[in-house]
Amino acid sequence: MSLRSVLAACALAVALPGCVQVNVKGDPDAWAEQMTGASTLRVATYNTSLYDEATGGLVRRLENDDANARKIAAVLQRVRPDLVLLNEFDYDEGERAADLFQRHYLEVPQAGGGEALRYPYRYLAPVNTGVPSGLDLDRNGEAGGNGRNGGNDAWGYGLHPGQYGMLVLSRHPIDAPQVRTFRLLKWSAMPGARQPRDPATGQSWYAPAIWSQLRLSSKSHWDVPVRTPSGTVHFLVSHPTPPVFDGPEDRNGSRNADEIRLWREYLSPSTANASWLCDDKGHCGGLAEDARFVIAGDLNNDPVDGDGAHEAIIELLEHPRVARYATPRSEGAVEVAQKYAQAGIVHRGAPAHATGDFGPKAGTMRLDYVLPSVGFAVEGSGVFWPASSQPEAAIADGSDHHLVWVDLVTGSP
């Protein structure tokens, strides 16, 4: 019997001589690894598509046994990350949706999933999506309006405040007082910002009075410090706008690139005391040079395929503070890419690296990332996208994105 098996047996019979009593929360393998001296942190990102077009819609769905939510929970129970970002999880001020998802989905064994999964710590906060700006951002002649007209004129596209929100779940304590959010940071504050321009006239797409007010983040950018057993890890999370749904001015493509660039600036030594890089509490400057971090999120930018300024994501991947490691991959992505290839949709990127299937016009692309800082040893990684012949495929279609995970070996901070 392996040492891990012995420890598991001890957990079931804590009264036996020689067994160590422990308070098991979450993954039995996780605490077994801690007791054997290993220190591995599994970090993941997952665009869950748990959003609704109506205010309070996600809460009502979760109250009524939502099938997709059960699949999302099942995937999390299978992968069991220690720290995970959920993109496209609608925000509500009372945290009702987060409570329901934890108690009625994650803490209940799901078909195709694993054992119940509990996260003692979480972080969520308001986002820009669906929040009215009072400005005519799409230049249709009116500010606000109903439906998509109102969504287009919100600080970030959304049909109600909080749509497409973010949720961080953690097995380790979150240092909430030290969290930094950049929801209110002005786009124009960024030096050399990609100000959208009308290609017909060469003039700025936005009038100066509007450009000076625009927020950079379509949702928000968060620096969430997590106190792991081997030291603090800064979880840098975001969900930049898709670089589509605009016109020849490419306003969404420009915004996507600068939302990604914000993390590069945040990591740069030159921004240590930058007066423009100020969080929502008024604290200015980037991340300390000796801080360890993991960047995570649906960044809506593939290194070579699809729309968007590909150099934005490539420059982040190649940042000197970002670790190099083998790109997460899956069998399911290869299988789906082969079907698209037979239909004439062929991409330049490695099919195995894709993280989602975005339909016959876009095909498969790599949009979701988990990027640790140098100093971590990467023990493993992957994309939860099983081939259709595998039983796990039954729970993998809860979203058009797939969970990306990385195992980090942590040493002394």
Domain boundaries, the chain: 1-38, 39-127+162-409
Residue 346: pLDDT band with limits 50, 70, 90: confident
Contacts 24+ apart (CB under 8 A), 50-55: 50/86, 50/88, 50/89, 50/90, 50/97, 50/101, 50/399, 51/88, 51/89, 51/90, 51/163, 51/164, 51/165, 52/90, 52/163, 53/159, 53/160, 53/163, 54/159, 54/160, 55/160, 55/161
pLDDT at 312 over 90: yes
Q: What's the rounded mean pLDDT across residues 369-395? A: 97
Please state, in angstroms and rounded to a whole number, the distance separating the CA atoms of residues 194 and 205.
Answer: 11
Question: pLDDT-based confidence at 410, cuts 50/70/90?
Answer: confident
pLDDT (0 to 100) of residue 39: 83
Query: What is the tens place of the pLDDT at every residue in 82-118?
Result: 999 999 999 999 999 999 999 999 999 999 998 999 9
Cβ atoms 364, 347 nearer than 8 A:
yes
Does residue 34 have a pLDDT over 60? no
Which residues lie closer than 8 Å to 107 by C-beta, 6 or more apart? 116, 117, 118
Cα radius of gyration rounded to whole Å, the chain: 22
pLDDT greater than 70 at residue 27 = no
* pLDDT for 15 beyond 90: no
- The 10s digit of each residue's pLDDT in 149-184 is 999 999 999 999 999 999 999 999 999 999 999 999
The amino acid that residue 275 corresponds to is S
Pairing of strands 222-228, 40-50: unpaired
Share of the chain above pLDDT 70, in %: 90
**Tokens read off for 351:** 């099919």
Enter the CATH code of domain 39-127+162-409: 3.60.10.10
Tokens representing 55 are 């205010």
In this prediction, residue 8 carries a pLDDT of 33
pLDDT at 372 exceeding the cut of 90: yes
Q: What is the pLDDT of residue 411?
A: 66
Mean pLDDT of the chain: 90
pLDDT at 2: 33
With tokens 């930018």, the residue in question is: 301
What pLDDT score does 230 carry?
87
| Model confidence at 298: pLDDT above 70 | yes
Residue 62 contacts residue 48 (beta carbons within 8 Å): no
Place of tokens 């993941």: 44
170 and 83 Cβ atoms separated by less than 8 Å: yes
Reported confidence tier of residue 144, pLDDT bands at 50, 70, 90: confident
- pLDDT (mean) for 346-370: 95
Report in angstroms the alpha-carbon separations of 34 from 2, 98, 157: 15, 28, 43
Q: What is the pLDDT of residues 360-369, one digit of tens each?
A: 989 999 999 9
pLDDT of residue 18 exceeding 50: no
The pTM of the whole model exceeds 0.95: no
Closest CA relative to residue 302, chosen from 349, 249, 359: 349
Dihedral in degrees, nearest 10, Cα atoms 112, 91, 218, 261: -60
Pairing between β-strand 292-298 and β-strand 180-181 as defined by DSSP bridges:
unpaired
pLDDT-derived band at 64, boundaries 50, 70, 90: very high
pLDDT the model gives residue 412: 52
- Average pLDDT value for residue range 401-410: 95
